[in-house]
Structure 1
Amino acid sequence: FPILVLGWCLVYFYPKVAGRVVLATWFIAGVWVWISARPNYHIGASGVIYGLAAFLFFSGVFRKQRSLMAISLFVVFLYGGMAWGVFPILPRVSWESHLWGAIVGVILAWMYRGVAPAHVPEPIVLEDEEDEEAPPSAPPRRLHVIYHYDPGDEAPEHPRTDLASDAEPWWSDHDHT
């Protein structure tokens, strides 16, 4: 299942280099495992899987594009536990294939960092919206509210409203009783 998910991500986001990445990871990691690995059975596609995961992760890191870094985080979220596979923890697991696949994936991500990815969305540019203005023929209206309260009264009077356009502002010092 990881080879399908990682392969799809590779083909979708990096179609120009997808075939070369898969073939180079398979061949170069295989040669280095053959040269440097311990005498054991080394079979399977785990080297390619580690190479694809490393390529997808480090391509996003090297390119510093948000959408590609999101793919990097996606790979870490799904397959972050694979990082332990590059260490010789289990005796019957070919950790050498994992290690060489990851190394080749990092190198290929660095080599192809200048190749433009596909399907990267255009950046969203937010523009300032124009405020709606009142029609110029309508005069501005102000609502002037004055509260008056005498300490001897039980409840304050109802507010007085004045809709005249020449009403004094509320901060004036005049008494409006």
Structure 2
Amino acid sequence: MEEIARLRKLSGILYGVALALSAILPVVVLIYAGKGVTDPSSLLAQAPLVPAGTPVSQVQAGLVGALGILSVLPMVAALRGMARLFGRYAEGTVLEAGNAETILRIGRALVLVALFTILVPTAQTLILSWAAPDKVLAIGLDGGTLGFLMAAGLLTVIGWAMREAARVKAENEGFV
């Protein structure tokens, strides 16, 4: 019983954090995208491989901003799913098929986050280097991104396993 109380309390806290982050994160990205469009040359600071002084148009800045906004969507979806899951856990609903589906969706969204972490900066750097004498195509992959991708894959598999456990639980309840 003590474990359930701990789960409910921690889930209640995490519910609030996930919900707040899902609202704050898009606003922060929109602010940075807006700053980039109003001052396109400021984007060069975020792309160290693009030569300093490379002209950046508002169209380029808009594309870079649009990619930034697009890339935040899977994280917002994951955070909203987490808020939903933590809310259900805070209510004491743990081993249910709906929770398993939510975990699966969170895992899939986080896989997209990891992929976007690789692809979006690559595309943004390429866009910013359009007017440079030499175009830049740099694909960044580090241990943190690989670890995040593995954790997202793990969460996806846990979602599948939870779905099966919830199915077996429901089946067993039918026999009683």
Q: TM-score, normalised by structure 1?
A: 0.31
Which protein, 1 or 2, shows the higher relative CO under an 8 Å CA cutoff with sep ≥ 6? Answer: 2
- Provide the TM-score with structure 2 as the length reference: 0.31
Structure with more of its chain in helix, by fraction: 2
